[in-house]
Amino acid sequence: MSKIALVTGATAGFGRAIARKLADEGWSVIVNGRRVDRLVQFAEEYKGKGELYPLAFDVRKVDEVEKALERIPERLKAIDVLVNNAGLAVGRETIDNGDLEDWNRMIDTNVKGLLIVTRAVVQRMKAARSGHVVNIGSIAGKEVYAGGNVYCATKFAVDALTKAMRVEFLPLGVKVTQVSPGAAETEFSLVRYKGDAEKAEKVYDGYQPLRSEDIADTVWFVLSRPEHVCLNDIVIMPAAQANSFSFHKTK
């Protein structure tokens, strides 16, 4: 059955792959991110073969989020599925050397941004008494690693908020799932290392990381279960990674 989804952070990585998968399955997908040019190009690519509706906003900005949601055309307003994917890590410094601006960016995006978007979108699900929220967590939200500190804390927060949503949205008829991946090669490390491509590439040396498509397939599996089934929590890892800090590398 064709549904309407909003995917945050769909200009790259997991979000783009998830949006692609849903659109390929015949869903209408509202795609978000801050880079308007990428959103427009993405929507163009689907003209004639599916519906991608570009909706630029910064998840950290309450007014921007609310105004953007008002701009959604009537035919797409009844959002069935929200994929809270927008997020980032910035820096790998230990806490004693930490940068306050980096910490704020991670907390504002990964925790407050997810809350802001969810609060706004769930109003529509509440009225319809149905819906599904999928939060993209991380293995970093299950186990900490050195230099992961604040990023890990934001993903531990996503884990806690997912559980809170599951309890609070239960009477609203809204399902809540968390998908927590291990290392995947996207723009994630490039953002984390502030554009240093060499450092970013090294993260994936000597093993096969996850691909964005692996996460998209998992999200699709979650969303294509029967109505009475909810997958609560999925951890998906590269075969060469045991937890947030143990890798089997060939070099």
Q: Which of 42, 169, 188, 193 binds ligand NDP (CB under 6 A)?
A: 188
Contact 177, 222 (CB under 8 A): yes
Smallest gap, in angstroms, from Cβ of residue 1 to ligand NDP? 27
Does position 149 interact with ligand 8X3 (CB under 6 A)? The reply is no
Choose between 135 and 244: whose C-beta lies nearer to ligand 8X3: 244
Q: How far apart are CA 147 and CA 89, in angstroms?
A: 11
Contact 124, 133 (CB under 8 A): no
Q: Which helix (H) or strand (E) holds 245?
A: none
Contact 80, 3 (CB under 8 A): yes
Q: How far apart are CA 110 and CA 85, in angstroms?
A: 9
Q: How far apart are CA 139 and CA 183, in angstroms?
A: 8
CB atoms within 10 A of CB 84: 28
Does position 210 interact with ligand 8X3 (CB under 6 A)? The reply is no
Task: Please choose which of ligand 8X3, ligand NDP, none residue 148 contacts, taking the beta carbon within 5 to 8 angstroms, the exact cut-off set by kind.
Answer: ligand 8X3
User: Position 23: which residue type?
Assistant: A
Does position 234 interact with ligand NDP (CB under 6 A)? The reply is no
Within positions 97 to 126, which residues make up the interface with ligand NDP, using CB under 6 A? 109, 113
Q: Helices 13-24 and 36-46 meet at what angle, rounded to 10?
A: 20
Does position 91 interact with ligand NDP (CB under 6 A)? The reply is no
Within positions 181 to 200, which residues make up the interface with ligand 8X3, using CB under 6 A? 183
Binding interface with ligand NDP (CB under 6 A): 8-15, 32-35, 58-60, 85-88, 109, 113, 136, 138, 181, 183-184, 186-188, 191
Give the active site residues: 151
Binding interface with ligand 8X3 (CB under 6 A): 138-140, 148, 151, 183, 244
